[in-house]
Amino acid sequence: MNKIAAHRRHSPAVLAIAMLAPWSTHAQQGAPVQTAPASGQAASDTPSEQRVEVVEVTALKTRQNLQDVPASVTALSADDLARSGIVNSADLQQRVPGLSLSSGGRETNLAIRGVSNNVRSIGADPSNAVHLDGVYLPRSSMVLTEFFDLQRVEVLKGPEGTLYGRNATGGAINVVTRTPSAQSSAEGFVGFGSRGLARAQFAAGGGTDNVAGRIAVAYTKDDGYTRNLSTGKGLDTNDFKAVRGQLRVALGAKADLTLLAQASDDKGNIGYGVSTDTSKTGPLYPYSLGDPDYRLTAADQRTDARHIRLDSPVTSSRKTRVLAATVNWDLGAVGFKSITGFTNFKSADRNDVDWTGALLETQDTTTDVKSTSQEFQLYSQGDQRLEWTAGVFLYHDKGTETLDWKLYGPVNCGAPGSCYFARQTVKSTGRSEAVFGQMTYHFTSEWSALLGARYNRDAKDGEATNRRSGANFARDVSFTSFTPKAQLQWTPSKRLMTYAGVSKGFKSGGFNFGRGGIERYEPEGIVATEIGVRSTLLDGALSLNASAFNYDYKDVQLRTAILDAVSGNFVVSVNNASKAKVKGIELNADLTFDGGLSGGLSAAYIDSELQNYVSPSTRRDLSGLPMPLTPETSGSVWLDHSLAMAGGQLRSHLEYNYRSGVIFPLTLDQTNNKGEAYGLVNATVRWTAPNDTWYVQGAVLNATDKLYRTMRADYIFGSVVESFGAPRTYEVRVGFKY
């Protein structure tokens, strides 16, 4: 027997069954066929009644049927992503209510249920943890990427301060790749589409009983959906390439080692099609400080949202490297897992930060962040009255960021030519150590209780150098946190499970790197209560899940721009001036009909409210506003149909995704930072040849060509800048499987 496969069956910390699309009957890597619908479907009590397939996830660091997970988790398989046309991580929000991602200017902000990453500098931490095969990705900009050769993506909603720690204040996203097996396999596709799109992905693997490997590559490039009229170049372009290699080695009969190396280079500029809203008139800051009547001519402004004018070239480069070593060891009643990770993220960007065709301002930014993480886990195995997981997490990062903000012209510099508004280099070193444990005790076959806790210590050192004045500042801070969790679970039958619990989330404080020094801001915390139900009905044809939650959110970290009374300049900084209340409900349903028809829906209602918050910039009371990137209502409804055709199988998919209006992350004020409600229609059709050897797929996204904002900000007085999502796009793919 394959030793790797044998061990994988016994280790609950490793997913043993590869997930396959409902579009395919081919068993990936020799695993039993699985279906992974978006909202998480479950099996009925007996195989003969099974209508909706099993989904297994590791969101809580043990292998579980999704219908048995006492938490709000959405699982999307690779084929779910393809069926919805999702390639970029930013599009996950279309199928995951309660999740939002804004990427205006490549400044990535991720929100889960109102808890968002509103802080960007290297001295700050994200509010939602993202992992690649268990390795923590420390920078928010690493989240904006393309998916390739995956088993699934898991979105865990709600603070997970016990198992995931300080960086999962709002939740966690786990990206799980396809793992090597001894069975030889290969698959891939080439695609072509709108605006010169060319896309290709390929993966192959195989080996022996003791050693198996897999390699995957991805490539995407297009001309972009926004045109810069000043240069004739495209903006909001894709230019992505990546490679991933994995090697799994059996270490005897009871253990295995998996090595992963991934490199991606992204030179696209999605989110850089930022321009000034010409309907907002008035003098431009900071130019109006030199001339109160300063106006731009029409020749310097955009003609519409898709045709803009930026005078300076816009460039972007994101290079990400991830190395990982994962050891699983079956010790009988106990399992052991070690995850060692190394990441390196480098970026270089040039922005036209006046967002017009006039030569007024440019900004060059570089970032280089390296991190090392180590996690050890011990966990119980087998059916026992007491189930438990315990672990240690160690983390270290070191980063450098440079900023060169250049002004041009007599209005800015007092004379023709150029001058620097800011030139700064900041450095940050972070360390974190944590111990955690979680246990579930089954009192009876129906009742169980969960208790967990995590103790975390964070320390940071920061240094800022003003390269204009030569001034240098340094500071160090440290924080500790204790984040417990308690939950009660009732399972009256295999078809019904309910849970209710309370948990705590914590996000570390950090630094404000200003030109005049370094200022500390404090941690933020959440106490969350949640009740939920997971059910399988109609003899397994329907899965119906719901949850309700309430957050008490304190010391919210919000980034604002404040006018410095001494220098007259605006300084962007983070403060803890507010608290918030967040509450809501979520619903997920999947239904399988006779005749090859199935469908589903997922929806969320979130009521969020800032409290006791006065803008440090404008002194306006913003209490009562919703949290940034938090639509009140969001949802998705879809329908799938399959039928035999020409000896093969034809599958069609139609979906509608809706999101109500949001407020984009805080800067100056919220007067103009609003995005409108919108709905997107996506459709795909795929014909698969007999024996699933090859296929042809067509997709159209945003079929109604809806114009919708992805970012809007009013941090320049007298003007408002904004960016927009992709228009109607189409793609045709030809692929194969072996």
Q: What is the mean pLDDT of residues 448-460?
A: 95
Q: Output the pLDDT for position 9.
A: 34
Q: Output the pLDDT for position 189.
A: 96
Q: Domain holding 55: CATH number?
A: 2.40.170.20
Q: Is the pLDDT of residue 109 over 90?
A: no
Decide if 731 contacts 710 (C-beta within 8 A): no
Q: What is the pLDDT of residues 70-80, one digit of tens each?
A: 899 999 988 88
Q: Is the pLDDT of residue 543 over 90?
A: yes
Q: Is the pLDDT of residue 480 over 80?
A: yes
Dihedral angle computed from the Cα positions of residues 373, 511, 723 and 619, in that order, rounded to the nearest 10 degrees: 150
pLDDT band, residue 478 (cuts 50/70/90): very high
pLDDT band, residue 612 (cuts 50/70/90): confident
Q: Is the pLDDT of residue 44 over 60?
A: no
Please give the Cα distance from 568 to 691 (Å, whole number).
70
Residue with tokens 């106490």: 527
Burial of 383 (0-12, 13-18, 19+ CB in 10 A): exposed
Q: What is the mean pLDDT of residues 271-285?
A: 72
Q: Is the pLDDT of residue 107 over 80?
A: no
Higher-pLDDT residue of 422 and 298 is: 422
**Prior bond of 180 cis (ω within 30°):** no
Q: Is the pLDDT of residue 669 over 80?
A: no
Contacts of 213 (CB under 8 A, 6+ apart): 180, 205, 206, 207, 245, 246, 247, 248
Q: Is the pLDDT of residue 167 over 60?
A: yes
Consecutive H or E run containing 341: strand 334-351
The percent of residues above 90 in pLDDT, for the chain, comes to 55
DSSP states along 653-690: EEEEEEE--EEPPPSS-SSS-EE--EEEEEEEEEEE-G
Q: What is the mean pLDDT of residues 232-254?
A: 95
Q: Is the pLDDT of residue 293 over 90?
A: no
pLDDT band, residue 108 (cuts 50/70/90): confident
Domain that holds residue 396: 3-737
Q: What is the mean pLDDT of residues 404-412?
A: 82
Q: What is the mean pLDDT of residues 515-538?
A: 88
pLDDT band, residue 521 (cuts 50/70/90): confident
Q: What is the mean pLDDT of residues 711-730?
A: 81
> Which residues is 425 bridged to in the sheet?
402, 465
Decide if 281 contacts 672 (C-beta within 8 A): no
Q: Output the pLDDT for position 94.
A: 87
Q: Output the pLDDT for position 242.
A: 97
Task: Write the CA distances from 103 to 131, 142, 276, integer angstroms.
Answer: 19, 12, 17
Q: What is the mean pLDDT of residues 616-638?
A: 86
Split into its structural domains, the chain has a count of 1
Q: Output the pLDDT for position 614.
A: 77
The percent of residues above 70 in pLDDT, for the chain, comes to 85
Residue closest to 348 by CA, chosen among 318, 371, 369, 370: 318
Q: What is the mean pLDDT of residues 405-418?
A: 82
Q: Output the pLDDT for position 714.
A: 74
Higher-pLDDT residue of 503 and 271 is: 503
DSSP states along 540-596: GTEEEEEEEEEEEEEEEEEEEEEE-TTT--EEEEEEEEEEEEEEEEEEEEEEE-SSS
Higher-pLDDT residue of 201 and 292 is: 201
99-103, 320-324, 432-436, 658-662: the lowest-pLDDT one: 99-103
> Chain-wide mean pLDDT for the chain?
85
Residue closest to 410 by CA, chosen among 337, 358, 469: 358
